[in-house]
C-alpha cells in the first residue's frame, strides 16, 4: 500500500496526541454556545474552545419587535458580554423590544372622509384613493397645514403621530340660473365648466303643471341636461294649465259625471242625484258630510271629491182592491214616489180597465204623475173593451153611462168579427157631402148614413159597411157603419196597439170628410191621421154600436 505525504503527516500527529498525557486534552476541550431567540429567527449554535469567547451573531429577526440584547439568563436580567470567556456549555436568550405604532390621519379639507391608518415606526403609509371635492382638482398630500412639503409615500417613513393635509386647486365654474315664472328664481348653481348641470326637482306653480326647462325665454329650445356647461346661462321653466278632477261621490245614489276644471274655477252645481228611499240634502267636501261645499264661492285648487248627503224617506203601504178579480199584492212605496203599475187582475167575462183612488171608481190613479204621500188603497175597474160580443166582434169602447155620444141607450162599440178588410175608395172626388164631417165617438153612424144617401158612387167604403151582415147563434147583425176619426183611433189604441183582433197594419178610411176632395184616414202602422184623396183606395173596418 502506497502512502502519500499528507497521510504520513496525519499519522505523525495522531501518534503525538495519543502519546500525550490527559492534561493536554482537558486544556483543549470545547463548549457549546446555544442561542434561544425567543420566537425570533433561528441562530446557529457555536462550538467554542474552553477559555475562548463566543462570536456575536447577527441579530435575530422577529415581526413587530426590535432585538435588544443577548441575556445569560432566561429571565433576561443579565446581559451577556461577548468579551466573556466560555468555560462551559451555555445558552444565551434574546431580548426584544416592541416596535412603536403611530396613527396616521388625513385632513381632506372637504366632505370626503378617509379612514385612519395605524403604521409601525419606520413603516410606509398606504396611499389612499384621491378624495373628491366639487369644483376642485386634488393635487396631493402634504406634511403640514401650510401645504409646503409634499409627502412621498414610497420614501417618507412614519416616525411619530402624523396628519396629512389634502391640497386642492379650484376649477373654473359657470353660474346656471333657473327661472320659474314671472321672473321668479328657483335657484342659481355654480357648475364646473365642461360638466353638466343637475336637473332640479320639478318646480310647482298654482294652477299649472310643469313641462320642462328651456334655454331661451321664448321656450323654443328644450335644454338637454346631458349637455356640458361652458358659460353662465339661464334656464326657463315651461308650464301648461292644470286640470283638476271634481268627483261626485253619491254614496249609492245615481251617477254624477266627473268634471275637469282649471285652477280657481267655480263648480257648477249638478242636478241633484237620486237614491231610492232617500232625499238628497247637499254636497260636502268631506266624507263625514260636515263641511258644506259652497258652490257660489268655492273654487278648484286641486283634485276634489264632493260627497252627497241623504235623508231617509218614509215609506207607505199601497194596497190593491181587485173588486172580485184575482189578488194583487200590496207594495211598499217611498213618500213622494210613484207606484209601479202592477200586473192587471183578471175577472171572468171582463177586461181590466184601470185603477182608481176611490171605491166609487170616479177618480183614476195616474201611475205617471200621482205620488204616494200616505197609506192608500187603489180599486180595480173592469170593462168589456178587448172582449168579444155576442156577434163575435171585439169591443173597443165601453161607456158605462149607456150613452155613446149621440147614440142614447148604447154602451159598446165593436168591430166586425171577421178580418174582412178590403181596399176601396172613400167616395166621389171633388164632391161635398153635407153632414159627413163628424169626428167624435158616436158620429160615425150619421156620417155613414149621409155618405150612402148623398153619394151614388158604387163600391165605396160606406156602402161596404152598411151592406155587411153576419149571423151568429141565429141572430143577424146588419147595423154596421164606417167609423169616425175618434172611433177609428180608439180601435187602434184599444185593440191594435194591444195586439187584439189580429188587425193588419194597413191604411184605413174613416167616415169623417175633410173637404170635397179629401177624407181622413189612419195608418195602423203607427196610429197617425192623414188626409187622403177620396179616390185613393184604403182598407175598411166596419163597426157597430149596441
Q: How confident is the model at residue 419 (pLDDT cuts 50, 70, 90)?
A: low
Laid out side by side, the sheet with 376-383 consists of 331-334, 315-321, 376-383, 351-356
Q: How confident is the model at residue 406 (pLDDT cuts 50, 70, 90)?
A: low
For the chain, what is the mean pLDDT?
A: 90
395-398 and 331-334 strand pairing: unpaired
- CA torsion, ordered 365, 370, 371, 372, to nearest 10 deg: -20
Q: How confident is the model at residue 2 (pLDDT cuts 50, 70, 90)?
A: very low
Cell of 137: 382638482
Please report, for the chain, the start and end positions of each structural domain, with discontinuous segments joined by +: 5-98, 101-170, 173-241, 243-312, 315-383, 395-545
Note every long-range contact of 131-134, with CB atoms under 8 Å and residues 24 or more positions apart, other chains counting. 131/106, 131/166, 133/108, 133/109, 133/168, 134/192
> Can you tell me the distance from the alpha carbon of 479 to that of 391, in angstroms, rounded to the nearest whole number?
11
Q: Which CATH number fits domain 315-383: 2.60.40.4270, 1.20.1250.20, 2.30.110.10, 3.40.50.720?
A: 2.60.40.4270
Lowest-confidence region among 14-28, 471-485, 486-500: 14-28
Confidence check: pLDDT of 526 > 90: yes
Q: What is the structure's pLDDT at 13? A: 40
Lowest-confidence region among 287-296, 409-418, 444-453, 537-546: 409-418
Residue % of the chain over a pLDDT of 90: 78
**Cα-Cα end-to-end distance for the chain:** 184
> Can you tell me the distance from the alpha carbon of 496 to that of 370, in angstroms, rounded to the nearest whole number?
28
Q: What is the structure's pLDDT at 342? A: 96
Mean predicted confidence (pLDDT) in 358-367:
95
> Can you tell me the distance from the alpha carbon of 143 to that of 129, in angstroms, rounded to the nearest whole number?
17
**Cβ-contact 10, 3 below 8 angstroms:** no
233-241 and 173-179 strand pairing: parallel
CATH number of 243-312: 2.60.40.4270
Domains 101-170 and 173-241 share a fold: yes
pLDDT in tens, 36-50: 999 999 999 999 999
The CA angle 489-493-495, to the nearest 5 degrees, is 110
Cell of 283: 254636497
Q: What is the structure's pLDDT at 276? A: 85
DSSP 3-state assignment of 158?
Answer: coil
Residues paired with residue 460 on neighbouring β-strands, in sequence order: 425
Q: What are phi and psi of 45, to 5 degrees?
A: -65, 155
Q: What is the structure's pLDDT at 401? A: 61
Residue % of the chain over a pLDDT of 70: 93
- CA torsion, ordered 483, 488, 494, 497, to nearest 10 deg: 140
> Can you tell me the distance from the alpha carbon of 91 to that of 101, in angstroms, rounded to the nearest whole number?
32
Looking at domain 5-98, does it have CATH number 2.60.40.4270? yes
Cell of 282: 247637499
Mean predicted confidence (pLDDT) in 188-205:
92
**Cβ-contact 260, 244 below 8 angstroms:** yes
More confident residue, 116 or 350: 116
Closest CA to 434 of 450, 457, 458, 445: 450
Lowest-confidence region among 16-30, 108-122, 368-382: 16-30
Q: Which fold has domain 173-241?
A: Immunoglobulin-like (2.60.40)
Q: What is the structure's pLDDT at 405? A: 56
Q: Which fold has domain 101-170?
A: Immunoglobulin-like (2.60.40)
Confidence check: pLDDT of 533 > 50: yes
Q: How confident is the model at residue 1 (pLDDT cuts 50, 70, 90)?
A: very low
507-513 and 304-312 strand pairing: unpaired
Confidence check: pLDDT of 7 > 50: no
Confidence check: pLDDT of 6 > 60: no
- pTM for this predicted structure: 0.39
Q: What is the DSSP code (8-state) at residue 72?
A: S
pLDDT in tens, 164-196: 999 999 889 899 999 998 889 999 999 988 999
pLDDT in tens, 115-150: 999 999 889 999 999 999 877 889 999 999 999 999
Q: What is the structure's pLDDT at 386? A: 85
pLDDT in tens, 94-120: 999 988 899 999 999 998 899 999 999
Q: How confident is the model at residue 27 (pLDDT cuts 50, 70, 90)?
A: low
> Can you tell me the distance from the alpha carbon of 50 to that of 56, in angstroms, rounded to the nearest whole number?
17
C-beta atoms surrounding 327 within 10 Å: 7
Which residue reads 415581526 in cell numbers? 63
Lowest-confidence region among 27-31, 249-253, 505-509: 27-31
Q: What is the structure's pLDDT at 400? A: 67
Mean predicted confidence (pLDDT) in 340-344:
95
> Can you tell me the distance from the alpha carbon of 531 to that of 494, in angstroms, rounded to the nearest whole number?
23
> Can you tell me the distance from the alpha carbon of 302 to that of 93, in angstroms, rounded to the nearest whole number?
89
DSSP 3-state assignment of 448?
Answer: helix
Q: How confident is the model at residue 260 (pLDDT cuts 50, 70, 90)?
A: very high
Confidence check: pLDDT of 220 > 70: yes
Amino acid at each position: 500500500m502506497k502512502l502519500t505525504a499528507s497521510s504520513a503527516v496525519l499519522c505523525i500527529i495522531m501518534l503525538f496526541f495519543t502519546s500525550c498525557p490527559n492534561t493536554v486534552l482537558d486544556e483543549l476541550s470545547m463548549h457549546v454556545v446555544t442561542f434561544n431567540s425567543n420566537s425570533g429567527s433561528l441562530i446557529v449554535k457555536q462550538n467554542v474552545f474552553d477559555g475562548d469567547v463566543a462570536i456575536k451573531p447577527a441579530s435575530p429577526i422577529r415581526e413587530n419587535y426590535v432585538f435588544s440584547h443577548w441575556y445569560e439568563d432566561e429571565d433576561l436580567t443579565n446581559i451577556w458580554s461577548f468579551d466573556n470567556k466560555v468555560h462551559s456549555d451555555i445558552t444565551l436568550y434574546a431580548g426584544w423590544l416592541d416596535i412603536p405604532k403611530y396613527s396616521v390621519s388625513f385632513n381632506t379639507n372637504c366632505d370626503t372622509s378617509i379612514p385612519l391608518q395605524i403604521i409601525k415606526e419606520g413603516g410606509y403609509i398606504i396611499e389612499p384613493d384621491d378624495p373628491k371635492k366639487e369644483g376642485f382638482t386634488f393635487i396631493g398630500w402634504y406634511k403640514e397645514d401650510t401645504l409646503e412639503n409634499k409627502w412621498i409615500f414610497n420614501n417618507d417613513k412614519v416616525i411619530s403621530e402624523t396628519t396629512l393635509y389634502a391640497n386642492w386647486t379650484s376649477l373654473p365654474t359657470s353660474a346656471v340660473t333657473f327661472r320659474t315664472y314671472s321672473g321668479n328664481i328657483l335657484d342659481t348653481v355654480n357648475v364646473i365648466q365642461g360638466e353638466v348641470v343637475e336637473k332640479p326637482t320639478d318646480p310647482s306653480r298654482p294652477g299649472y303643471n310643469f313641462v320642462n326647462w328651456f334655454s331661451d325665454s321664448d321656450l323654443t329650445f328644450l335644454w338637454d341636461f346631458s349637455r356640458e356647461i361652458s358659460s353662465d346661462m339661464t334656464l326657463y321653466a315651461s308650464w301648461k294649465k292644470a286640470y283638476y278632477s271634481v268627483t261626485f261621490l253619491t254614496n249609492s245614489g245615481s251617477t254624477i259625471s266627473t268634471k275637469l276644471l282649471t285652477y280657481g274655477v267655480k263648480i257648477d252645481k249638478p242636478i241633484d242625484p237620486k237614491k231610492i228611499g232617500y232625499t238628497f240634502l247637499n254636497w260636502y267636501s268631506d266624507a263625514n258630510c260636515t263641511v258644506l261645499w259652497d258652490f257660489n264661492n268655492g273654487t278648484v285648487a286641486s283634485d276634489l271629491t264632493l260627497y252627497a248627503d241623504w235623508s231617509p224617506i218614509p215609506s207607505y203601504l199601497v194596497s190593491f182592491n181587485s173588486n172580485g178579480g184575482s189578488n194583487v199584492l200590496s207594495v211598499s212605496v217611498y213618500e213622494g214616489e210613484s207606484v209601479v203599475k202592477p200586473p192587471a187582475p183578471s175577472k171572468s167575462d171582463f177586461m181590466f180597465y184601470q185603477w182608481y183612488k176611490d171605491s166609487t171608481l170616479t177618480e183614476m190613479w195616474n201611475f205617471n204623475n200621482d205620488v204616494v204621500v200616505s197609506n192608500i188603497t187603489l180599486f180595480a175597474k173592469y170593462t168589456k173593451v178587448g172582449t168579444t160580443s155576442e156577434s163575435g166582434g171585439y169591443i173597443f169602447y165601453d161607456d158605462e153611462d149607456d150613452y155613446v155620444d149621440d147614440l142614447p141607450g148604447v154602451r159598446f162599440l165593436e168591430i166586425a168579427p171577421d178580418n174582412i178588410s178590403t181596399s176601396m175608395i172613400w167616395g166621389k172626388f171633388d164632391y161635398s157631402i153635407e153632414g159627413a164631417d163628424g169626428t167624435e165617438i158616436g158620429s160615425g153612424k150619421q156620417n155613414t148614413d149621409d155618405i150612402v144617401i148623398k153619394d151614388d158612387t158604387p163600391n165605396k167604403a160606406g156602402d161596404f159597411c152598411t151592406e155587411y151582415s153576419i149571423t151568429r147563434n141565429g141572430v143577424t147583425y146588419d147595423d154596421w157603419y164606417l167609423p169616425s176619426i175618434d172611433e177609428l183611433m180608439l180601435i187602434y189604441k184599444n185593440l191594435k196597439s194591444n195586439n187584439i183582433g189580429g188587425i193588419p197594419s194597413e191604411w184605413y178610411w174613416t167616415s169623417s170628410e175633410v173637404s170635397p176632395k179629401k177624407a181622413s184616414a189612419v195608418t195602423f202602422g203607427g196610429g197617425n191621421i192623414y188626409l187622403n184623396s177620396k179616390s185613393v183606395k184604403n182598407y175598411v173596418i166596419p163597426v157597430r154600436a149596441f
